[in-house]
Chain A
């Protein structure tokens, strides 16, 4: 790969794979990246990484896609480490020492050794591979916690006040080691299976393209941090739509009356003036385990947009419904504990803990009928999985009749609607249902659907 053509080929396939992950890179940037390689040379891998990141990327969120892809196309080395694979006990000893010293370079080498020694599975050329899960399962770095802590303490590396921080620090170092192992396993697999395929499949997408239903805890936390900037962006977009909407349709009566002075020829169209009325919003959120990540995010987003509406009311349900607007109030909202607080303070479950849309929607139509009026837009958030219960379509019909608009945002893939206990198609006949799997889809929908 040291020939010029080889490097160019490597670079273009790196760019191709970044594009496949939704990073928008033009030809101009690729040329810049090539010039950067020319300036920096290929001697120092970390410089190359920073140089390519500077020329190819345009935003902060893209970095976490870039790093693993870069590791695949410009790997640290080829093949496994030299020498005999070390024994498990020996490796754990050295790992503990490296963690105690917080030696990044050594941790990287140990990760390579660990994957080489314990990550391999299968024997035939088609089915074998390298697994980070298996490596970590055999090595169990998390069990080194207490040892590393004691070792650091014994060396006098931590005393007095800062001693209380030590455990968290060690935990972060162990997490860093796990990421190293994952990257190393990915690299080894890529050597065997072809880089492009692994780059496409094994690299996690940016947070706004992750499915709500499969997003892990840290991904959801990352999403929550994007709520404020996203809300700001949506607010500007709403304001623009409002400006356009302020020019209403033609007022025929006044146009014709004005045309009398020009002999009945309507020279000047008179537009109907709009009364600025801030719409009301009602959110009905399923907060049961399966979809709670999605509901949390949407609730926070709508709450951040609250100054765009005259009134926002939020209801949460599992199989009973309760108003949670108060819990979301500005300043009080601690996004992290939102789900837990709703579970603790609101009455959202009856005799059992699984979601029942029919019951909850029926209760809403009965108890909070006044919440939905002719100026209200209602959003229902949930996967429409009733656990076999009655979908209670009349209640939905009643809500739809009272409200100005009802939209249903479903975090499930459209192809799975109606499978199993999902009654999505039945609801979709009554109200407009949209697939809303990722933060990106959600912001597009919110910008389009929110009333102005």
Chain B
């Protein structure tokens, strides 16, 4: 898919995703080694965006499995379309049972769910398993077969093996420790907060109307907030929101009034706001 690490960065940048060297290297390796990519990091640093950008670059279809508590086999893998099977049985009254049986367990009655969809067919696909840590431990067991051999076993049909391996991205917020077995099958990538320079480029790209000097100040203030010990530090998503806010307010430069009025965009807890205003020498709210 990619020829070199630089190629990865350049082509991801075309889609509007600016990748750090770590991200580009790992994506390149995941493609070359054919291994799934496990992405961890705080909320709002672009884990899901990465999968979307890779899909766009590769011209592949994005198949997304959103994990939640209680997601199970029939939601993740496949399900038989019972209603349709019943209709089929009642429609073919004169058939023998053997004919009906072979017929109702055919592909026509199979409802494919994301994991199965991703390994069937010949077109390129990117499989995004989002918020893997939200799923129960049993689902991880389900993922193991899919991720290591790219195959799914349906008892009535046999084992379905991928003819073309999808590019797999798993994301996790580390709210639960994923099992060692799952981690072993993946390349591990931690996306942290970007370096100052990279974040400035991201802000400039996403908020084109913002001038260079203001973007620089915005990123510096966010950097200072991240160095404080807050309950929830602002992420890249919040930086971009803040830049949008400043643009909408028509603020040409940062000053105390503007920062105080818009701090709520960056910080989501009242005690964080108080702490930050004290440290940034804003007057009492």
Contact = CB atoms under 8 A, between A and B. Distances in A.
Interface in A27-62: 28-29, 32, 35-36, 39-40, 44, 46-47, 50-51, 53-55, 57-60
- Describe B's contact surface by its main secondary structure: helix
24 contacts: A24-B180, A26-B184, A35-B32, A39-B28, A39-B32, A40-B25, A40-B28, A40-B29, A50-B21, A50-B26, A53-B22, A54-B26, A55-B187, A60-B190, A63-B190, A162-B220, A164-B281, A165-B280, A168-B224, A168-B227, A221-B229, A233-B176, A335-B229, A336-B229
Contact of B177 (A53, A55, A164, A233): A233
B86 to A, nearest CB: 39
Contact of B183 (A46, A59, A169): A59
B46 interface: no
Contacts of B189: 54
Interface string B212-239: 0000110011011001010000000000
B40 A60 contact: yes
B175 interface: yes
Interface stretch (B61-69, B102-110, B122-130, B249-257): B249-257
B217 A54 contact: no
B29 A51 contact: yes
A418 interface: no
Contacts of A55: 29, 33, 187
Interface residues of B, number: 39
A169 B229 CA distance: 16
Contacts of A47: 5, 21, 25
A351 interface: no
Interface of A: 24, 26, 28-29, 32, 35-36, 39-40, 44, 46-47, 50-51, 53-55, 57-60, 63, 160-162, 164-165, 168-169, 172, 221, 229, 232-233, 334-336
A32 B186 CA distance: 10
A57 B188 contact: yes
A161 B255 contact: yes
B254 A160 contact: yes
Interface in B18-65: 21-22, 25-26, 28-30, 32-33, 35, 40
B259 interface: yes
A360 to B, nearest CB: 30
Contacts of B223: 165, 169
Contacts of B253: 160-161
In the A-B complex, the 7 residue pairs with the closest CB atoms: A50-B25, A58-B183, A161-B254, A54-B26, A50-B22, A54-B187, A165-B224
Nearest to B182: A58
A234 to B, nearest CB: 12
Contacts of B216: 162
A39 B187 CA distance: 14
Contacts of B278: none
